Structure 1
Amino acid sequence: MSASTGSTQPNSPTTFYQHALALVHRYPDVPLPRDGEPYPDADRRRNRVWSADRSDDQGARTSRLIDEFFSAPTEHRDIARLYREVVDYDIGIALWPSIAAAIRRADPGQARELGRHLARTSTDQNPTVLGMALLAVVGTEDDISLIQTIGLLSDTFGLLASQALTRLPDATANLIWLADRTAGWGRVYAVCAICELADPAADWWLLRRACDGHHLNGEFAYNVACAAPVHDAIAAPDADEALIDHTGNLLSTLAWCDGMGGTLWEYVHSEQALAHYLSRISALPPNLVRYQSVWALACFLDGRPNVPPPNWATLEPLHTGYWSLLATPTWHSVLTAASDNERSREWATRTLGELRRRQAGGQ
């Protein structure tokens, strides 16, 4: 930055941006292994002697540093000092209102210049976070690629990247790009942001791609069910296999995600969606993933794992339909053939044992 003094570069030559770019070239179009960790500063963070007070209560410390930096005359702004101070505490990975307000008090062009500089050149996590926070407030269309690239280091930077992309042009498409290439918490942040946009252009993706089978899908499954016309789409006679399978994944996640997000109990179209899903999935050949979805929904209709069964007018035929499908020879054979991996075999063995106990009890 020409307007500030000092260098932000420690001895390590690898910036977070360079780190992310290298991983993108190695793993194009898929989530990065371990969300891109270890980061370039992993050894330094592990060995760092931290200050006695590492807290940043709701962004108070960061907002103070932003105000101090931009209140100084341009020629006296010391970016190296800012860098050293930010490194010394636990900066949050979210855009706290206090931080956003401090950024808005600064000149937008100068804040944008600082954000770009930190995001592109920082070799430590905290200054990179600060750069992303600045771009989340004052970034422009020119910053989208930079934001997306660092956002792929998604466990740490996915939330700020999603917050930044939400306010920039082509938000839906850019967030879907990020969601398709993230997993875990990074995917949670991106999918929740897509749902909040309430853009019909996202429906195709939300109906077929949002859930990827990770247990953290429970954090956003209800958001997807409310944002996309799931109950109408699964009712359509021409529903494609991708939509049917994703609906099974989504509904089965809603069956067990109590404590994470909304569940089938809160989803107002649950009864309708379960009926149409049963009709559609019954016409498809079984596989283990489909069996697991149907099993989770059958258990929900049993009142498991920890709630009574729903008080629906169609409960009895739905209950019978789901358990009958699982008992058909072609579907039952999926369990005996399960051998993809040890985890699948263990699940199939447990499920077979429960089915035998269920049959012995006359259920």
Structure 2
Amino acid sequence: MSHSRAVMVVDVGHTCRGRSMTSSESTSPASSTSTLPVRTPIPGIWSAGHPAVRPWLLRASADGDHLNGYCAGRVAEVAGLRDAMTRQAPDADVVDHAGRLLHVMCRCAGMGPTLALYPHAGAVMTAHVRRVAQLGPSAERFFIAGMLARSLGSETQRDSVGPAERWAALRRAYLALLDREDWCETARAGLVAGDGQLEWLARVAADLELKGLELRGLDTGTP
């Protein structure tokens, strides 16, 4: 099932602003003429009991922008991200959206609940790395895995992530995934195609020495 992504922009009061999601886009058989409010506080959306609420929060409430930091942790808690990732069989949209939420929570100190404060962070990340390994590579999955590996070992993001030692095993798991040849081939193809996220990752995570971001000897079509 495909779901259109909505940008989550937030202001005072943990308000979520984005495209209304019709109930036909949820897993509920409710009437497709019913929509979520475009601008509603997250706790208010959840308590309303609308059948499209949880699918929307789990699939389309964040796009990875830094402003998502005001609400990413709240979404993870309210939408039951741990259960969605560990007790159910999440589809690709849920898994990829979970990656965006985790990525944002690694850099949102001073904005909203961080990865360090999220009580289910370890369980969700363990499930995430396992699920993306099963799904296979994409340019965005490579980017998210790379940024998570970078953040989990970063001293500069301690305020959001906490002690790097806590995440050592998960960081190794993400790095092992990024070292797989099929993932490397996907990243190289993305760089050749001009994927902006992968170009950014290549610049900011050079210390990780990810071989998928090494283009020497690869014909990029440039002089």
Above 0.5 in TM-score?
A: yes
Contact 1:336 1:348 in 2 (8 A): no
| Aligned amino acid, residue 234 of structure 1 | M
Residues 326 and 195 of structure 1, relative CA distance in 2, 3 Å threshold: farther
What's 1:255 paired with? 106
What's 1:283 paired with? 134
- 5 Å matches for 1:268-347? 268-307=119-158, 308-310=162-164, 312=166, 315-338=167-190, 339-341=192-194, 343-344=196-197, 346-347=199-200
- 5 Å matches for 1:86-165? none
Structure 1 runs not aligned, ≥5 long = 1-28, 36-92, 95-150, 155-172, 179-189, 359-363
Q: TM-score, normalised by structure 1?
A: 0.44
* Counterpart-to-counterpart distance in 1, 2:104 and 2:193: 22
Whether 1:356 aligns to 2:209 is yes
Q: TM-score, normalised by structure 2?
A: 0.68
What's 2:69 paired with? 218
* Counterpart-to-counterpart distance in 1, 2:196 and 2:78: 33
Larger Rg: 1
The one-character-per-residue Cα deviations of 1:107-135 (angstroms, maximum 9, x if unpaired) are xxxxxxxxxxxxxxxxxxxxxxxxxxxxx
* Counterpart-to-counterpart distance in 2, 1:258 and 1:321: 24
Structure 2 runs not aligned, ≥5 long = 20-33, 212-223
Residues 238 and 255 of structure 1, relative CA distance in 2, 3 Å threshold: same
| Aligned amino acid, residue 330 of structure 1 | D
| Aligned amino acid, residue 309 of structure 1 | P
* Counterpart-to-counterpart distance in 2, 1:216 and 1:353: 25
The structure where helix makes up a greater share of residues is 1
What's 1:114 paired with? none
Residues 309 and 332 of structure 1, relative CA distance in 2, 3 Å threshold: farther
The one-character-per-residue Cα deviations of 1:49-70 (angstroms, maximum 9, x if unpaired) are xxxxxxxxxxxxxxxxxxxxxx
* Counterpart-to-counterpart distance in 2, 1:195 and 1:310: 32
The one-character-per-residue Cα deviations of 1:8-38 (angstroms, maximum 9, x if unpaired) are xxxxxxxxxxxxxxxxxxxxx998xxx9xxx
Q: What displacement does 1:351 show?
A: 5.8
Q: What displacement does 1:227 show?
A: 0.8
- 5 Å matches for 1:236-247? 236-247=87-98
Q: Which runs of 4+ in 1 moved over 4 A?
A: none
Residues 226 and 344 of structure 1, relative CA distance in 2, 3 Å threshold: closer
* Counterpart-to-counterpart distance in 1, 2:195 and 2:145: 21
Q: What displacement does 1:344 show?
A: 3.7
Identity %: 27
RCO comparison, higher one (Cα < 8 Å, 6+): 2
